Amino acid sequence: MPRAAALSLNNEPTVWHHSVTRWLGIVLLVTLAWDASGLDLPVMWQIGTSSGFPLRHHAWLVGVFHEGWRQFFAAFFVSMVVWALWPARWNLPRLAAMNLPRRERWTLILLVLLSLLAVNLVKINSQTSCPWDLQQFGGTARYLSHWALGQSDGGSGRCFPGGHASSAFAFVGLCLPWLAPPPHTARAPAAGLRWLTFLLLAGLTAGTAQTLRGAHFPSHTLWTLLICGSVSWIGWQLALPRLAQRLRVFGRVRATPQNVPDPGAKHSHSKAMARICNAERVRFGVVSGHERKTLSFSCLKPATRAAPERGGLRFPAGPPQGKSTPSGGSDPRSGGAWGQ
């Protein structure tokens, strides 16, 4: 099946909309099952001793997976701000898959900030202490589940959920523009899956490093993923209607079923234009107003003669003489595809 079959311009939720919701539900069930199993403390007993955690000050765990990982994602956030401010005229064709509308870029930045805020709000109000503060591992606090709301374990608290893992999980919303794009937007999900895989591995690596150091229980990492994923998904769903209002296809024309070129139109020229525009949509993966300068759609070039109008959209009659069409056809004067 051609790649175009994976792209859709309708207003119905794609299969990935339902997949994201389903996977969030699976993460919730796994997290609740882990809490119910009571495996947090047994796992920490396999890592630590009555005198503490031998890997607490390990050079790699501290220097690379703690400080280094946090600095990396701080720089990554700065690069996202630069990306959001990047002028459309500077977009590179080779990075066309990343040329999201500016409003979507700022929405992603907002989702990152909201995810970090949600994790820290839970954290500063939590009375759960870190494993290395427990009496079993040489500390002064007694073990209490984070479900024991309002009860103090005698330690410093503020350890639940995993703040360090949130440095990666907060960016999980980066996959949503491709897995759950706004209506009437054609995007291949491959880029979103790559972002999702990278961020999940990064967050799990950061959480595992903190568990080996005795800083967090495994459940803290799971809850961080669930909080960041839920905040990003809910925030993206709330933003979708507004993102769709700003989306434009073919320059300043709004993408609606009425003004998208109809491949089944009776006029032969409209058929040719629809084929070319569909080919360009598949090639670049996304079509929006601010990208028009970069993508240089040949179907938007100035007309060389009078052209028919359909649905409020003027279709140019053909390319300049002597130039070939994007689909490989020739000039209408030479009897090619445009003249059929």
Distance CA 35, CA 81 (A): 37
Residue 259 lies in a domain: no
- Count Cα neighbours of 86 within 13 Å in the Cβ-side half-sphere: 20
On whether both 241 and 276 belong to a single domain, the answer is no
pLDDT digits (tens, 9 = 90+) for 178-235: 999 988 787 888 999 999 999 999 999 999 999 999 999 999 999 999 999 999 999 9
Residue 80 lies in a domain: yes
Total count of domains within the chain: 2
On whether both 141 and 281 belong to a single domain, the answer is no
- Count Cα neighbours of 249 within 13 Å in the Cβ-side half-sphere: 27
Distance CA 121, CA 125 (A): 6
On whether both 236 and 279 belong to a single domain, the answer is no
pLDDT higher for 141 or 326? 141
Residue 42 lies in a domain: yes
On whether both 59 and 105 belong to a single domain, the answer is yes
Domain extent for 291? 268-339
Residue 253 lies in a domain: no
pLDDT digits (tens, 9 = 90+) for 289-315: 444 444 444 444 444 444 444 444 444
When pLDDT is cut at 50, 70 and 90, the band that residue 272 belongs to is very low
On whether both 55 and 123 belong to a single domain, the answer is yes
Residue 255 lies in a domain: no
On whether both 205 and 278 belong to a single domain, the answer is no
On whether both 62 and 168 belong to a single domain, the answer is yes
On whether both 181 and 313 belong to a single domain, the answer is no
The mean pLDDT of 105-109, rounded to a whole number, is 96
- Single residue among 196, 213, 246 that ends a domain in this structure: 246
pLDDT higher for 1 or 84? 84
On whether both 210 and 308 belong to a single domain, the answer is no
The mean pLDDT of 144-148, rounded to a whole number, is 89
- Single residue among 246, 279, 313 that ends a domain in this structure: 246
Residue 166 lies in a domain: yes
**pLDDT above 90: percentage of residues in the chain:** 52
Q: Is the confidence at residue 36, as pLDDT, over 50? A: yes
On whether both 175 and 321 belong to a single domain, the answer is no
On whether both 217 and 83 belong to a single domain, the answer is yes
User: What's the pLDDT at 6?
Assistant: 44
Residue 287 lies in a domain: yes
| Summary mean pLDDT of the chain | 77
User: What's the pLDDT at 87?
Assistant: 79
pLDDT digits (tens, 9 = 90+) for 243-257: 887 654 433 434 434
On whether both 304 and 210 belong to a single domain, the answer is no
User: What's the pLDDT at 4?
Assistant: 38
Q: Is the confidence at residue 169, as pLDDT, over 70? A: yes
Q: Is the confidence at residue 336, as pLDDT, over 70? A: no
